[in-house]
Amino acid sequence: MLESTIAVTSSPDSSSAPAGPARGSLVIVSSPSGAGKTTLTRRLLADHDTLDFSVSYTTRTQRPGERDGIDYHFVDKPTFDRMVAGGELAEHFVVHGNHYGTARAPIDDAIRRGRDMIFDVDYQGAQALASQWPADSVRIFILPPDLKTLASRLRTRATDSDEVIERRLRKAIEELRHFVDYDHLIVNERLDEAYDVLRAIYLTRRYGPHDRDDVALPLAELAARVEANRARDPQAHARRLIDEPHG
């Protein structure tokens, strides 16, 4: 899904924040619906107070339990159209028949202040954001272990009809074909392991891959975890998912 940006400050990290870069980063996370990107991004946000979350503007109907201004900014179509016409959105697309967009001003403000901003977006949003902030962006794609598991996760959520679930599964194949556009791929078979890799990618992006006296984090160890994930060849896993029988 395409998500957009009004910064919402995350809860503080348990340790005092070490010195970070003068300019922040866009941490762009994508996946097919049900692969776990929202769970993972919210966990990273909760653990690190150096991150702000990008809250999307959307025209879709608010679901039970969702909070306006926290999960999404829910707006009507005329309001959304006015934002587009006024150049307020860095990107906007239609996803599953609903409009989503990312506000531009909070991104510039965050990275100028050395804050990192995390985005839970689809591949179209990732392309649009990275094209406008190429040097500031790191793109991460979350892969499901297989399509059967992805379908099961969608049905377990019980928030969409069978028709919508089937449409999302068909859309998943299209989204998976864009894995080549991403800097990192993570297979979300076990949530804690996937999170450890995501966290390692984020922290080494912010502080670098080498241990530092001024940063109380095992950066070299975290960098090794990132490289170990690459060595598992998640690209091959993505290709298998694309070729997996479905439908």
CA Rg, the chain, in Å? 18
Are the C-beta atoms of 111 and 205 separated by less than 8 Å? Answer: no
Left if phi > 0, otherwise alpha if psi is -120 to 50, otherwise beta: which for 233?
Answer: left
Give residue 12's pLDDT band: very low, low, confident or very high (50, 70, 90).
very low
| pLDDT at residue 169 in the model | 81
Give residue 73's pLDDT band: very low, low, confident or very high (50, 70, 90).
very high
| Strand runs labelled E in 3-159 | 7-9, 26-30, 51-54, 56-58, 72-74, 89-95, 98-103, 116-120, 137-143
3-state secondary structure at position 150: helix
| pLDDT at residue 172 in the model | 84
User: pLDDT by residue (tens digit) across 15-51?
Assistant: 445 566 889 999 999 998 888 898 999 999 999 999 9
Strand 184-187 and strand 137-143: the pairing is parallel
Q: What is the mean pLDDT of residues 56-84?
A: 95
| pLDDT at residue 158 in the model | 58
User: pLDDT by residue (tens digit) across 138-193?
Assistant: 999 999 999 888 888 777 765 667 787 778 788 888 899 999 999 999 999 999 99
Burial (0-12, 13-18, 19+ Cβ within 10 Å), 193: middle
- Top CATH class of 7-243 equals alpha beta
| Strand runs labelled E in 31-126 | 51-54, 56-58, 72-74, 89-95, 98-103, 116-120
| pLDDT at residue 122 in the model | 87
Domain range list for the chain: 7-243
Per the DSSP assignment, residues forming a β-bridge with 184 are: 140
Number of Cα atoms under 13 Å in the Cβ half of residue 142: 31
Give residue 247's pLDDT band: very low, low, confident or very high (50, 70, 90).
low
> Which pair of tokens denotes residue 226?
């990132």
Distance from C-alpha of 4 to C-alpha of 121, rounded to nearest angstrom: 8
| pLDDT at residue 244 in the model | 77
Distance from C-alpha of 37 to C-alpha of 30, rounded to nearest angstrom: 6
Are the C-beta atoms of 208 and 20 separated by less than 8 Å? Answer: no
User: pLDDT by residue (tens digit) across 91-133?
Assistant: 998 877 899 999 998 899 999 999 999 998 889 889 999 999 9
Q: For the CA atoms of 224, 227, 233, 234, what is the dihedral angle to 10 degrees?
A: 90
Distance from C-alpha of 61 to C-alpha of 105, rounded to nearest angstrom: 25
pTM reported for the whole predicted model:
0.82
| pLDDT at residue 11 in the model | 36
